[in-house]
Amino acid sequence: MYIGIDLGTSGVKVVLLNEEQQIVASASQSLPISRPQPRWSEQDPQDWWNAVDTAMLALSQRTDLSAVKAIGLTGQMHGATLLDKADNVISPAILWNDGRSDVECAELEQLVPTSRQITGNVMMSGFTAPKLKWVAKNQPAIFSQVAKVLLPKDYLRLAMTGEYGSDMSDASGTMWLDVGKRDWNKDLLNACGLDLDKMPTLFEGNQITGYLRLELASHWKLNTVPVVAGGGDNAVGAIGIGLHQAGQAMLSLGTSGVYFVVTDQFHANPEKAVHSFCHALPNRWHLMSVILSAASAVDWAKNMTGMPDVATLFQQVEKNTAYSEAIFLPYLSGERTPHNDPYAKGIFWGLGHNDNAITLTQAVVEGVSFAMADGIDVLHETGVKADNIALIGGGAKSAYWRQLLADITGKTFEYRTGGDIGPALGAAKLAQIALNPSVDIVTLSQHLNLESVYEPNLVKTAIYAEKRAKYREIYARLKGL
Protein backbone atom coordinates (compact mmCIF):
# COMPACT_ATOMS: atom_id res chain seq x y z
CA MET A 1 0.00 0.00 0.00
CA TYR A 2 0.97 3.66 -0.37
CA ILE A 3 0.23 6.78 1.66
CA GLY A 4 -0.46 10.24 0.24
CA ILE A 5 -0.27 13.26 2.54
CA ASP A 6 -1.88 16.52 1.40
CA LEU A 7 -1.08 19.64 3.41
CA GLY A 8 -3.93 21.94 2.41
CA THR A 9 -4.61 25.47 3.63
CA SER A 10 -7.64 24.52 5.71
CA GLY A 11 -6.56 21.04 6.70
CA VAL A 12 -4.41 17.94 6.24
CA LYS A 13 -5.71 14.87 4.41
CA VAL A 14 -4.04 11.46 4.46
CA VAL A 15 -5.10 8.58 2.19
CA LEU A 16 -4.09 4.94 2.00
CA LEU A 17 -4.00 3.45 -1.50
CA ASN A 18 -3.60 -0.22 -2.42
CA GLU A 19 -1.77 -1.65 -5.46
CA GLU A 20 -5.01 -1.51 -7.48
CA GLN A 21 -5.24 2.24 -6.67
CA GLN A 22 -8.31 1.85 -4.52
CA ILE A 23 -8.69 4.05 -1.43
CA VAL A 24 -8.45 1.77 1.60
CA ALA A 25 -8.73 4.43 4.31
CA SER A 26 -8.33 8.13 4.92
CA ALA A 27 -8.04 10.62 7.76
CA SER A 28 -8.09 14.40 8.00
CA GLN A 29 -7.37 17.17 10.45
CA SER A 30 -8.29 20.86 10.23
CA LEU A 31 -5.82 23.77 10.40
CA PRO A 32 -6.16 27.34 11.73
CA ILE A 33 -5.16 30.41 9.69
CA SER A 34 -3.94 33.70 11.15
CA ARG A 35 -4.67 37.07 9.50
CA PRO A 36 -2.97 39.55 11.86
CA GLN A 37 -3.16 42.46 9.40
CA PRO A 38 -5.12 43.27 6.22
CA ARG A 39 -3.88 41.19 3.24
CA TRP A 40 -1.74 38.99 5.55
CA SER A 41 -2.27 35.22 5.73
CA GLU A 42 -0.06 33.05 7.92
CA GLN A 43 0.17 29.64 9.57
CA ASP A 44 2.43 28.12 12.22
CA PRO A 45 4.38 25.18 10.69
CA GLN A 46 4.11 23.41 14.04
CA ASP A 47 0.33 23.28 13.44
CA TRP A 48 1.04 21.53 10.11
CA TRP A 49 3.13 18.91 11.84
CA ASN A 50 0.66 18.39 14.69
CA ALA A 51 -2.15 17.89 12.16
CA VAL A 52 -0.12 15.36 10.13
CA ASP A 53 0.83 13.46 13.27
CA THR A 54 -2.78 13.36 14.47
CA ALA A 55 -4.07 12.18 11.07
CA MET A 56 -1.36 9.51 10.73
CA LEU A 57 -2.03 8.18 14.22
CA ALA A 58 -5.76 8.02 13.44
CA LEU A 59 -4.96 6.06 10.26
CA SER A 60 -2.65 3.66 12.08
CA GLN A 61 -5.25 2.99 14.77
CA ARG A 62 -7.85 1.97 12.18
CA THR A 63 -5.65 0.13 9.67
CA ASP A 64 -2.56 -2.07 9.71
CA LEU A 65 0.12 0.02 7.99
CA SER A 66 2.83 -2.64 7.92
CA ALA A 67 2.25 -3.19 4.17
CA VAL A 68 2.90 0.47 3.28
CA LYS A 69 5.81 0.72 0.83
CA ALA A 70 6.21 4.51 0.43
CA ILE A 71 4.78 7.94 1.28
CA GLY A 72 4.13 10.77 -1.19
CA LEU A 73 3.74 14.45 -0.28
CA THR A 74 1.71 17.29 -1.74
CA GLY A 75 0.16 20.51 -0.51
CA GLN A 76 -0.45 24.22 -0.77
CA MET A 77 2.11 25.96 -2.95
CA HIS A 78 4.15 29.18 -2.61
CA GLY A 79 4.32 29.36 1.22
CA ALA A 80 7.56 30.71 2.74
CA THR A 81 8.80 28.56 5.64
CA LEU A 82 11.93 30.12 7.16
CA LEU A 83 14.42 28.07 9.20
CA ASP A 84 17.61 28.97 11.07
CA LYS A 85 20.82 26.91 11.18
CA ALA A 86 19.30 24.58 13.80
CA ASP A 87 16.16 24.03 11.67
CA ASN A 88 14.05 26.09 14.04
CA VAL A 89 11.12 27.98 12.48
CA ILE A 90 11.92 31.67 12.93
CA SER A 91 8.62 33.23 11.86
CA PRO A 92 5.08 32.23 10.86
CA ALA A 93 4.88 30.81 7.34
CA ILE A 94 3.59 33.38 4.81
CA LEU A 95 0.92 31.65 2.70
CA TRP A 96 -0.02 31.62 -0.99
CA ASN A 97 -3.03 33.90 -0.41
CA ASP A 98 -1.01 36.57 1.41
CA GLY A 99 -1.03 39.85 -0.54
CA ARG A 100 1.45 42.06 1.32
CA SER A 101 4.31 41.89 -1.23
CA ASP A 102 2.86 43.53 -4.36
CA VAL A 103 5.49 46.31 -4.32
CA GLU A 104 8.27 43.71 -4.18
CA CYS A 105 6.87 42.01 -7.30
CA ALA A 106 7.58 45.11 -9.36
CA GLU A 107 11.02 45.48 -7.77
CA LEU A 108 12.00 41.91 -8.63
CA GLU A 109 10.91 42.28 -12.25
CA GLN A 110 13.05 45.43 -12.46
CA LEU A 111 16.05 43.70 -10.88
CA VAL A 112 15.73 40.68 -13.20
CA PRO A 113 14.18 41.98 -16.45
CA THR A 114 14.16 38.44 -17.92
CA SER A 115 12.24 36.95 -14.99
CA ARG A 116 9.12 36.23 -17.09
CA GLN A 117 11.17 34.37 -19.69
CA ILE A 118 13.02 32.38 -16.97
CA THR A 119 9.99 31.44 -14.86
CA GLY A 120 7.24 31.56 -17.49
CA ASN A 121 5.15 33.66 -15.10
CA VAL A 122 4.38 37.25 -14.20
CA MET A 123 5.57 38.01 -10.65
CA MET A 124 2.63 37.93 -8.21
CA SER A 125 2.47 38.48 -4.47
CA GLY A 126 1.16 34.95 -4.03
CA PHE A 127 4.54 33.52 -5.09
CA THR A 128 7.44 32.87 -2.69
CA ALA A 129 10.19 35.16 -4.04
CA PRO A 130 8.44 38.50 -3.35
CA LYS A 131 7.62 37.26 0.16
CA LEU A 132 11.33 36.88 0.92
CA LYS A 133 12.03 40.27 -0.62
CA TRP A 134 9.41 41.71 1.73
CA VAL A 135 10.93 39.96 4.78
CA ALA A 136 14.42 41.26 3.89
CA LYS A 137 13.04 44.82 3.70
CA ASN A 138 10.59 44.80 6.62
CA GLN A 139 11.95 42.17 9.03
CA PRO A 140 15.76 42.34 8.63
CA ALA A 141 16.42 40.68 11.99
CA ILE A 142 14.45 37.61 10.88
CA PHE A 143 15.95 37.61 7.39
CA SER A 144 19.49 37.64 8.81
CA GLN A 145 18.78 34.30 10.55
CA VAL A 146 17.46 32.51 7.43
CA ALA A 147 19.50 29.38 6.70
CA LYS A 148 16.90 27.47 4.65
CA VAL A 149 13.70 28.40 2.82
CA LEU A 150 11.25 25.52 2.42
CA LEU A 151 7.82 25.17 0.87
CA PRO A 152 5.09 23.91 3.22
CA LYS A 153 5.07 20.22 2.24
CA ASP A 154 8.89 20.23 2.22
CA TYR A 155 8.90 21.26 5.87
CA LEU A 156 6.99 18.03 6.50
CA ARG A 157 9.65 16.16 4.50
CA LEU A 158 12.39 17.59 6.73
CA ALA A 159 10.49 16.55 9.86
CA MET A 160 9.91 13.05 8.44
CA THR A 161 13.33 12.32 6.92
CA GLY A 162 15.85 14.96 8.02
CA GLU A 163 16.41 15.87 4.34
CA TYR A 164 16.09 19.24 2.59
CA GLY A 165 14.29 18.39 -0.63
CA SER A 166 11.72 19.80 -3.02
CA ASP A 167 10.27 18.88 -6.40
CA MET A 168 10.11 20.63 -9.75
CA SER A 169 6.38 21.39 -9.76
CA ASP A 170 6.25 23.03 -6.32
CA ALA A 171 9.59 24.82 -6.89
CA SER A 172 8.12 26.32 -10.09
CA GLY A 173 5.81 28.42 -7.93
CA THR A 174 8.64 30.08 -6.00
CA MET A 175 9.78 32.29 -8.93
CA TRP A 176 13.34 31.11 -8.27
CA LEU A 177 13.20 28.21 -10.73
CA ASP A 178 14.25 28.25 -14.37
CA VAL A 179 11.15 26.31 -15.41
CA GLY A 180 12.47 25.36 -18.85
CA LYS A 181 15.80 24.08 -17.45
CA ARG A 182 14.26 22.60 -14.26
CA ASP A 183 16.91 24.14 -12.00
CA TRP A 184 17.32 27.01 -9.51
CA ASN A 185 18.18 30.37 -11.10
CA LYS A 186 20.99 32.25 -9.33
CA ASP A 187 19.96 35.70 -10.63
CA LEU A 188 16.48 35.42 -9.17
CA LEU A 189 17.84 34.09 -5.86
CA ASN A 190 20.44 36.87 -5.67
CA ALA A 191 17.72 39.47 -6.28
CA CYS A 192 16.14 38.27 -3.01
CA GLY A 193 19.45 38.19 -1.11
CA LEU A 194 19.59 34.38 -1.24
CA ASP A 195 21.93 31.75 -2.68
CA LEU A 196 21.85 28.03 -3.53
CA ASP A 197 22.92 27.03 0.00
CA LYS A 198 19.59 28.24 1.32
CA MET A 199 17.60 26.14 -1.16
CA PRO A 200 16.56 22.48 -0.89
CA THR A 201 17.83 19.84 -3.32
CA LEU A 202 15.56 19.43 -6.35
CA PHE A 203 13.95 16.11 -7.36
CA GLU A 204 11.39 14.96 -9.89
CA GLY A 205 8.00 14.20 -8.34
CA ASN A 206 8.41 10.40 -8.61
CA GLN A 207 11.90 10.26 -7.05
CA ILE A 208 12.78 9.11 -3.53
CA THR A 209 14.05 11.98 -1.37
CA GLY A 210 14.79 10.14 1.89
CA TYR A 211 13.50 7.59 4.37
CA LEU A 212 11.14 7.88 7.31
CA ARG A 213 13.00 8.38 10.60
CA LEU A 214 13.12 5.21 12.71
CA GLU A 215 11.46 6.77 15.75
CA LEU A 216 8.68 8.22 13.61
CA ALA A 217 8.12 4.92 11.81
CA SER A 218 7.70 3.24 15.20
CA HIS A 219 5.37 6.01 16.39
CA TRP A 220 3.13 5.63 13.29
CA LYS A 221 3.48 1.81 13.20
CA LEU A 222 5.19 1.83 9.78
CA ASN A 223 8.45 0.52 8.42
CA THR A 224 11.23 3.00 7.57
CA VAL A 225 9.70 3.51 4.13
CA PRO A 226 10.91 5.90 1.40
CA VAL A 227 9.40 9.38 1.22
CA VAL A 228 8.81 10.43 -2.41
CA ALA A 229 9.18 13.99 -3.70
CA GLY A 230 5.52 14.53 -4.71
CA GLY A 231 4.56 18.01 -5.88
CA GLY A 232 2.35 21.09 -5.69
CA ASP A 233 -1.35 20.51 -5.15
CA ASN A 234 -2.59 21.27 -8.67
CA ALA A 235 0.01 19.15 -10.47
CA VAL A 236 -0.41 16.24 -8.05
CA GLY A 237 -4.19 16.55 -8.20
CA ALA A 238 -3.85 16.18 -11.98
CA ILE A 239 -1.79 13.00 -11.49
CA GLY A 240 -4.56 11.72 -9.24
CA ILE A 241 -7.18 11.98 -12.00
CA GLY A 242 -4.82 10.58 -14.67
CA LEU A 243 -3.28 13.62 -16.41
CA HIS A 244 0.28 12.67 -17.34
CA GLN A 245 0.56 12.97 -21.15
CA ALA A 246 0.85 16.09 -23.31
CA GLY A 247 -2.56 17.27 -24.50
CA GLN A 248 -4.49 15.95 -21.50
CA ALA A 249 -6.44 18.64 -19.65
CA MET A 250 -8.86 19.28 -16.82
CA LEU A 251 -11.28 22.01 -15.90
CA SER A 252 -11.77 22.08 -12.14
CA LEU A 253 -14.75 23.94 -10.68
CA GLY A 254 -13.86 24.34 -7.03
CA THR A 255 -13.83 27.48 -4.89
CA SER A 256 -11.62 28.84 -7.65
CA GLY A 257 -11.66 27.64 -11.25
CA VAL A 258 -8.59 26.03 -12.84
CA TYR A 259 -7.91 25.05 -16.44
CA PHE A 260 -4.86 22.77 -16.54
CA VAL A 261 -3.12 21.32 -19.63
CA VAL A 262 -0.12 18.95 -19.69
CA THR A 263 2.68 19.71 -22.18
CA ASP A 264 5.92 17.97 -23.19
CA GLN A 265 7.88 21.22 -23.46
CA PHE A 266 8.07 24.64 -21.82
CA HIS A 267 5.40 27.12 -23.02
CA ALA A 268 4.34 30.44 -21.48
CA ASN A 269 1.92 33.37 -21.74
CA PRO A 270 2.77 35.41 -18.62
CA GLU A 271 1.30 38.66 -20.01
CA LYS A 272 -2.20 37.11 -19.73
CA ALA A 273 -1.50 35.72 -16.23
CA VAL A 274 -1.28 32.12 -17.43
CA HIS A 275 0.87 30.04 -15.06
CA SER A 276 3.64 27.88 -16.54
CA PHE A 277 5.05 25.23 -14.19
CA CYS A 278 6.91 21.94 -14.29
CA HIS A 279 4.62 18.92 -13.96
CA ALA A 280 5.13 16.34 -11.22
CA LEU A 281 6.69 13.83 -13.65
CA PRO A 282 9.98 14.10 -15.60
CA ASN A 283 10.00 15.78 -19.03
CA ARG A 284 6.53 17.19 -18.49
CA TRP A 285 5.29 20.73 -17.89
CA HIS A 286 1.83 22.21 -17.50
CA LEU A 287 0.02 25.45 -18.21
CA MET A 288 -2.70 26.68 -15.91
CA SER A 289 -5.22 29.51 -16.02
CA VAL A 290 -6.94 30.40 -12.76
CA ILE A 291 -10.07 32.39 -11.93
CA LEU A 292 -10.47 33.25 -8.26
CA SER A 293 -14.26 32.83 -7.89
CA ALA A 294 -15.91 29.83 -9.55
CA ALA A 295 -18.14 27.60 -7.39
CA SER A 296 -17.69 30.19 -4.63
CA ALA A 297 -19.53 32.75 -6.80
CA VAL A 298 -22.42 30.32 -7.25
CA ASP A 299 -22.48 29.70 -3.50
CA TRP A 300 -22.58 33.49 -3.01
CA ALA A 301 -25.58 33.65 -5.38
CA LYS A 302 -27.30 30.89 -3.38
CA ASN A 303 -26.91 32.88 -0.17
CA MET A 304 -27.91 36.16 -1.83
CA THR A 305 -31.12 34.72 -3.31
CA GLY A 306 -32.06 32.65 -0.26
CA MET A 307 -32.02 29.30 -2.06
CA PRO A 308 -31.81 26.36 0.39
CA ASP A 309 -28.93 24.69 -1.46
CA VAL A 310 -26.97 24.78 -4.72
CA ALA A 311 -28.84 21.80 -6.19
CA THR A 312 -32.18 23.63 -5.81
CA LEU A 313 -30.61 26.75 -7.28
CA PHE A 314 -29.58 24.90 -10.44
CA GLN A 315 -33.01 23.26 -10.74
CA GLN A 316 -34.66 26.70 -10.70
CA VAL A 317 -32.21 28.11 -13.24
CA GLU A 318 -32.68 25.15 -15.58
CA LYS A 319 -36.46 25.61 -15.52
CA ASN A 320 -36.19 29.27 -16.51
CA THR A 321 -36.99 29.84 -20.20
CA ALA A 322 -37.16 33.66 -20.23
CA TYR A 323 -34.21 35.41 -21.86
CA SER A 324 -32.38 38.01 -19.77
CA GLU A 325 -29.76 40.51 -20.87
CA ALA A 326 -28.23 40.41 -17.38
CA ILE A 327 -24.46 39.86 -17.35
CA PHE A 328 -22.34 39.19 -14.25
CA LEU A 329 -18.61 39.79 -13.83
CA PRO A 330 -17.55 37.20 -11.19
CA TYR A 331 -14.60 39.16 -9.80
CA LEU A 332 -15.64 38.89 -6.15
CA SER A 333 -11.99 38.51 -5.06
CA GLY A 334 -10.36 40.37 -7.93
CA GLU A 335 -9.14 38.24 -10.83
CA ARG A 336 -6.03 36.41 -11.91
CA THR A 337 -6.32 35.02 -15.48
CA PRO A 338 -6.40 36.85 -17.84
CA HIS A 339 -6.47 40.24 -16.09
CA ASN A 340 -4.07 39.91 -13.12
CA ASP A 341 -6.20 42.59 -11.46
CA PRO A 342 -6.64 42.38 -7.66
CA TYR A 343 -8.89 45.46 -7.82
CA ALA A 344 -11.46 44.01 -10.24
CA LYS A 345 -14.97 43.90 -8.77
CA GLY A 346 -18.09 41.78 -9.14
CA ILE A 347 -20.72 43.54 -11.25
CA PHE A 348 -24.30 43.01 -12.50
CA TRP A 349 -25.03 44.80 -15.80
CA GLY A 350 -28.07 45.00 -18.04
CA LEU A 351 -30.82 44.56 -15.45
CA GLY A 352 -34.46 45.15 -16.38
CA HIS A 353 -37.90 45.03 -14.71
CA ASN A 354 -38.31 41.35 -15.58
CA ASP A 355 -35.11 40.25 -13.84
CA ASN A 356 -35.46 38.32 -10.61
CA ALA A 357 -33.51 35.99 -8.31
CA ILE A 358 -33.48 33.24 -10.94
CA THR A 359 -32.25 35.38 -13.85
CA LEU A 360 -29.58 36.94 -11.64
CA THR A 361 -28.43 33.48 -10.58
CA GLN A 362 -28.37 32.41 -14.23
CA ALA A 363 -26.19 35.44 -14.98
CA VAL A 364 -23.79 34.40 -12.20
CA VAL A 365 -23.39 30.89 -13.61
CA GLU A 366 -22.95 32.28 -17.14
CA GLY A 367 -20.44 34.87 -15.88
CA VAL A 368 -18.25 32.24 -14.23
CA SER A 369 -18.46 30.21 -17.44
CA PHE A 370 -17.41 33.25 -19.51
CA ALA A 371 -14.45 33.71 -17.16
CA MET A 372 -13.43 30.06 -17.59
CA ALA A 373 -13.75 30.45 -21.38
CA ASP A 374 -11.40 33.46 -21.20
CA GLY A 375 -8.91 31.32 -19.27
CA ILE A 376 -9.10 28.53 -21.85
CA ASP A 377 -8.58 30.94 -24.75
CA VAL A 378 -5.52 32.74 -23.36
CA LEU A 379 -3.90 29.43 -22.41
CA HIS A 380 -4.43 28.18 -25.97
CA GLU A 381 -2.72 31.34 -27.25
CA THR A 382 0.54 29.59 -26.34
CA GLY A 383 -0.12 27.11 -29.15
CA VAL A 384 -0.98 24.33 -26.71
CA LYS A 385 -4.26 22.52 -27.40
CA ALA A 386 -6.15 19.98 -25.34
CA ASP A 387 -6.99 16.57 -26.83
CA ASN A 388 -9.66 16.01 -24.18
CA ILE A 389 -10.82 17.98 -21.13
CA ALA A 390 -11.84 16.22 -17.94
CA LEU A 391 -14.43 18.15 -15.93
CA ILE A 392 -14.08 17.75 -12.15
CA GLY A 393 -14.81 19.55 -8.88
CA GLY A 394 -17.85 20.31 -6.76
CA GLY A 395 -19.35 22.74 -9.28
CA ALA A 396 -19.22 20.08 -11.99
CA LYS A 397 -21.84 18.00 -10.16
CA SER A 398 -24.52 20.04 -11.97
CA ALA A 399 -25.41 18.53 -15.37
CA TYR A 400 -26.87 21.93 -16.34
CA TRP A 401 -23.55 23.67 -15.71
CA ARG A 402 -21.58 20.95 -17.52
CA GLN A 403 -23.65 21.47 -20.69
CA LEU A 404 -23.54 25.26 -20.31
CA LEU A 405 -19.73 25.19 -20.22
CA ALA A 406 -19.65 23.11 -23.39
CA ASP A 407 -22.05 25.52 -25.11
CA ILE A 408 -20.20 28.69 -24.05
CA THR A 409 -16.65 27.44 -24.73
CA GLY A 410 -17.45 25.36 -27.82
CA LYS A 411 -15.37 22.55 -26.26
CA THR A 412 -16.21 18.92 -25.51
CA PHE A 413 -15.99 17.91 -21.85
CA GLU A 414 -15.69 14.50 -20.21
CA TYR A 415 -17.29 14.43 -16.76
CA ARG A 416 -15.21 12.21 -14.49
CA THR A 417 -16.05 11.13 -10.95
CA GLY A 418 -13.89 9.88 -8.12
CA GLY A 419 -11.54 12.86 -7.86
CA ASP A 420 -13.16 14.30 -4.74
CA ILE A 421 -10.38 12.88 -2.54
CA GLY A 422 -8.12 15.60 -3.96
CA PRO A 423 -4.33 15.81 -4.34
CA ALA A 424 -3.66 13.20 -1.63
CA LEU A 425 -4.69 10.55 -4.18
CA GLY A 426 -2.07 11.82 -6.64
CA ALA A 427 0.60 11.89 -3.91
CA ALA A 428 -0.07 8.22 -3.15
CA LYS A 429 0.04 7.42 -6.89
CA LEU A 430 3.44 9.15 -7.20
CA ALA A 431 4.69 7.01 -4.31
CA GLN A 432 3.50 3.91 -6.19
CA ILE A 433 5.14 5.10 -9.44
CA ALA A 434 8.43 5.68 -7.58
CA LEU A 435 8.42 2.15 -6.18
CA ASN A 436 7.60 0.57 -9.56
CA PRO A 437 10.15 2.07 -11.99
CA SER A 438 9.84 -0.85 -14.42
CA VAL A 439 6.06 -0.40 -14.79
CA ASP A 440 4.87 1.96 -17.54
CA ILE A 441 3.60 5.23 -16.02
CA VAL A 442 0.53 4.93 -18.27
CA THR A 443 -0.47 1.79 -16.35
CA LEU A 444 -0.21 3.60 -13.01
CA SER A 445 -1.90 6.83 -14.20
CA GLN A 446 -5.30 5.67 -15.36
CA HIS A 447 -8.09 8.22 -15.85
CA LEU A 448 -10.90 8.35 -13.32
CA ASN A 449 -14.31 6.93 -14.17
CA LEU A 450 -15.94 8.52 -17.24
CA GLU A 451 -19.60 9.22 -16.43
CA SER A 452 -20.74 11.29 -19.43
CA VAL A 453 -19.57 13.39 -22.39
CA TYR A 454 -20.88 16.89 -23.16
CA GLU A 455 -20.75 18.19 -26.74
CA PRO A 456 -21.43 21.89 -27.50
CA ASN A 457 -24.69 22.97 -29.13
CA LEU A 458 -23.16 25.20 -31.82
CA VAL A 459 -26.34 27.28 -32.23
CA LYS A 460 -26.19 28.18 -28.53
CA THR A 461 -22.41 28.72 -28.79
CA ALA A 462 -23.02 31.45 -31.38
CA ILE A 463 -25.69 33.11 -29.19
CA TYR A 464 -23.46 33.04 -26.12
CA ALA A 465 -20.57 34.49 -28.14
CA GLU A 466 -22.50 37.77 -28.50
CA LYS A 467 -23.19 37.96 -24.78
CA ARG A 468 -19.60 37.05 -23.95
CA ALA A 469 -18.32 39.88 -26.17
CA LYS A 470 -20.34 42.33 -24.06
CA TYR A 471 -19.05 40.66 -20.89
CA ARG A 472 -15.47 41.34 -21.96
CA GLU A 473 -16.22 44.93 -23.00
CA ILE A 474 -17.82 45.74 -19.64
CA TYR A 475 -14.58 44.87 -17.83
CA ALA A 476 -12.47 46.83 -20.31
CA ARG A 477 -14.63 49.95 -19.95
CA LEU A 478 -14.83 49.85 -16.14
CA LYS A 479 -11.18 48.93 -15.40
CA GLY A 480 -9.63 51.48 -13.10
CA LEU A 481 -12.92 52.89 -11.86
Residue 233 is among the residues annotated as catalytic for this protein: yes
Provide the CA 188 distance to its chain's centre, in angstroms.
23
Determine phi and psi for 243, rounding to 5 degrees: -95, 105
First to last CA, the chain: 56
CB burial string 222-254: b at 16+ within 10 A, e below: bbebbbbbbbbbbbbbbbbbbbbebebbbbbbb
Q: Give burial (CB, 10 Å; 0-12/13-18/19+) of 399.
A: middle
CA-angle at 87, arms to 112 and 142, nearest 5°: 55
For residue 98, CA distances in Å to 133, 169, 174 come to 14, 20, 14
- Rg (the chain; Cα; Å): 22
Q: Consult the annotation and say whether 447 binds a ligand.
A: no
Q: Which residues pair with 349 in a beta bridge?
A: 327
Single-letter code of the amino acid located at 157? R
Contact between 360 and 305 under an 8 Å Cβ cutoff? The reply is yes
To the question of whether residue 380 is assigned a binding role by annotation, the answer is: no
Do residues 122 and 273 lie in contact, with contact meaning Cβ atoms separated by under 8 Å? Answer: yes
From the list 205, 254, 240, the residue with the least C-alpha distance to 397 is 254
Q: How many CB atoms lie within 10 A of CB 94?
A: 25
Of 233, 299, 374, 407, the active-site residue reads 233
CA distances to 89, 166, 379, 414 from 420, rounded to whole Å, are: 33, 26, 25, 16
User: Largest Cα–Cα distance in the chain?
Assistant: 70
Neighbour count for residue 144 (Cβ, 10 Å)? 11
For residues 2 and 436, what is the distance between their CA atoms, to the nearest angstrom?
12
Is 112:118 a contact under the CB 8 Å cutoff?
Answer: yes
State how far the Cα of 96 lies from the Cα of 93, in Å rounded to an integer. Answer: 10
Task: Give the active site residues.
Answer: 233
Residue positions forming the annotated binding site: 77-78
Binding residues for substrate: 77-78
